[in-house]
Structure 1
């Protein structure tokens, strides 16, 4: 069950430094955007604005990018994250670079603002501890996830598995296939840096891991990882990786992370005693290798962007975390362990 920090139906709640939360009275939220280091905040903003919510403020440290965003979406600019008035917003989307994003998020959490930090949650145990301890200390809800957690294909397969129709699970496999060519040059190089953005293992591996966590749970106890450079020899991390997983009940699994490709596609295959089930995202009867659907699939829905924003709005309204803190924390530790395994060449226990 989600970790609840406040009663969802209060008309007025007080938290943090005496800030009063009035979002539970309203159906439409005021949300700020801090950092434009990903493409995601552009999509998030369109979804939120089209569903009646207000993006109240925006900040970024790249002036041209900030100006373009402000003019395109009609959002007022602030000069720093600290200039966003915490008492005027119901939530914040923090999508600045890592590790700077951690400090931004902690500031908002300490001011009682429900905070979404996209993915990955953190790329080191120290940074993970910094943000999770802030959540526990303040009681402010925090949300960090791959959007694929809310992809209809993932949720549909989960419903099927929950009914036990696959029987005993034998093993599972996920694929997170995404090009990284744009991370080979500025302003995206930080995402390819293992110490900053996590590199392909963490930054792209989270997509496969998040899907598997929804389907079979997060309790992974051991990780193996092999990684290399097949095309992008200049990569600071890797453009190909295979992550082996072992759950606490002995279930074996694997995540394939091919990132030297031109296209993108994601999928899961579940091998059960009674059924072998699989899906690809986006869904379509016919797909190009790039993952582009030749049918009428809506990418905002099929990739989970719309569902993720619905979860964010609900978090702002009810102050209930969409994903238990312990699960988000566990998934981050699994990927950090995978990075360590790739470095050492041996298995790593997740503690």
Structure 2
């Protein structure tokens, strides 16, 4: 199955590696308007290089799947162009920056009979997989509340690296850029959000979009929750944490990235079983890279004519939650007060 990559920035390297390690997948082309990035690509892959997606599609008609790896604000335009050319899609997060663009993409994929997946690789982390299985078995009983916390550092120098960073039109802020994986995990693990009350602000960074956001939520199952996301933590990333509390136990998956079981208490599990579970995760907290899992699943999904494990609708659901937290795009931000 022939793959191409649109956008050759940092994240493209993960796609290149994932495609190379996936049986039945071959990278045949890449495109980027930046000549220096194309030159870098020529040093690490034999794939043909093109200055834009239109030229790539014209010159490489046998491409089956396009990986969209450009800045967030370009995802919709490039994905629509690829879909209209009949190509399946692997979309980096966030899938789009607006629900209007998401609807256009949804229609294009449906009308073309295409498969589309969104890169939310954190679903494949071993600790997250164990938590998902425990929730499906109802091991924690009726849930009282959940938390998703992203307390990271992105310095002003980080935002100043590229003109698009921190902009509403091209980046989307801490919710769309850094916390979007947590928003996906929250709904994948615990179910849809029914009610939300949020405050977002631009407190420390000189950017258009928010650098800190907090929300209180109610899930459809009745459980309450808190979402906290920030790029304002001093000096370095502090934590990424997923917590769940129920009538029969609780679990906290955390660390600088949510890869480790920090707490796991379950009424139906013995101490020995709990310790064995924690040791199992600690032996390999990262598991198979999520990008590889997603590429492998896309190959199978296209061959089997089924929806990928992470669907386009999953990606749109995470975007909708981010937009709900910012007022659907109105963004009445508290700026540097």
The interval holding the TM-score normalised by the smaller chain is 0.7 to 0.9
Aligned partner of 1:242 in structure 2 is 214
Q: Indicate conservation of the 8 Å contact 1:90/1:113, yes or no.
A: yes
CA distance in 2, matches of 1:249, 1:285: 24
Pairing 1:114–2:97 present: no
Aligned partner of 1:81 in structure 2 is 53
Pairing 1:184–2:159 present: yes
Per-residue CA deviation, residues 79-124 of structure 1 (Å, 9 max, x unaligned), is: 3202234641221101112332212111221222110111001112
CA distance in 1, matches of 2:300, 2:27: 16
Per-residue CA deviation, residues 191-229 of structure 1 (Å, 9 max, x unaligned), is: 411232211122222111111122112x22222222234
CA distance in 2, matches of 1:309, 1:324: 13
Aligned partner of 2:274 in structure 1 is none
Aligned partner of 2:290 in structure 1 is 304
CA distance in 2, matches of 1:106, 1:87: 16
Q: TM-score, normalised by structure 2?
A: 0.81
| Residues 1-351 of structure 1 aligned to structure 2 (within 5 Å) | 29-37=1-9, 39-52=10-23, 53-85=25-57, 87-181=61-155, 183-187=158-162, 189-217=163-191, 219-232=192-205, 234-261=206-233, 262-263=236-237, 265-280=239-254, 281=257, 283=259, 297=284, 299=286, 301=287, 304-322=290-308, 323-340=310-327, 343-344=331-332
Q: Indicate conservation of the 8 Å contact 2:128/2:259, yes or no.
A: no
Give the match's secondary structure for 2:72: coil
Provide the alpha-carbon RMSD of the alignment. 2.5
Q: TM-score, normalised by structure 1?
A: 0.78
Deviation at 1:137, TM superposition (A): 2.3
The verdict on how the C-alpha distance between 1:305 and 1:176 changes in structure 2, with shifts beyond 3 A counting, is farther
Q: Indicate conservation of the 8 Å contact 1:174/1:268, yes or no.
A: yes
Give the match's secondary structure for 2:240: strand
CA distance in 2, matches of 1:191, 1:213: 26
CA distance in 2, matches of 1:159, 1:243: 26
Deviation at 1:141, TM superposition (A): 1.3
Deviation at 1:325, TM superposition (A): 4.1
Give the match's secondary structure for 2:200: strand
Per-residue CA deviation, residues 233-273 of structure 1 (Å, 9 max, x unaligned), is: x1222322213322223322122212123226422100111
| Structure 2: runs of 5+ lacking an equivalent | 263-281
CA distance in 2, matches of 1:167, 1:315: 33
The verdict on how the C-alpha distance between 1:257 and 1:166 changes in structure 2, with shifts beyond 3 A counting, is same
CA distance in 2, matches of 1:338, 1:148: 21
The verdict on how the C-alpha distance between 1:63 and 1:116 changes in structure 2, with shifts beyond 3 A counting, is same
Q: Indicate conservation of the 8 Å contact 2:127/2:261, yes or no.
A: no
Per-residue CA deviation, residues 258-316 of structure 1 (Å, 9 max, x unaligned), is: 21232264221001110011112453589xxxxxxxx77575x3763332333233234
Give the match's secondary structure for 2:299: helix
Q: Indicate conservation of the 8 Å contact 1:150/1:305, yes or no.
A: no
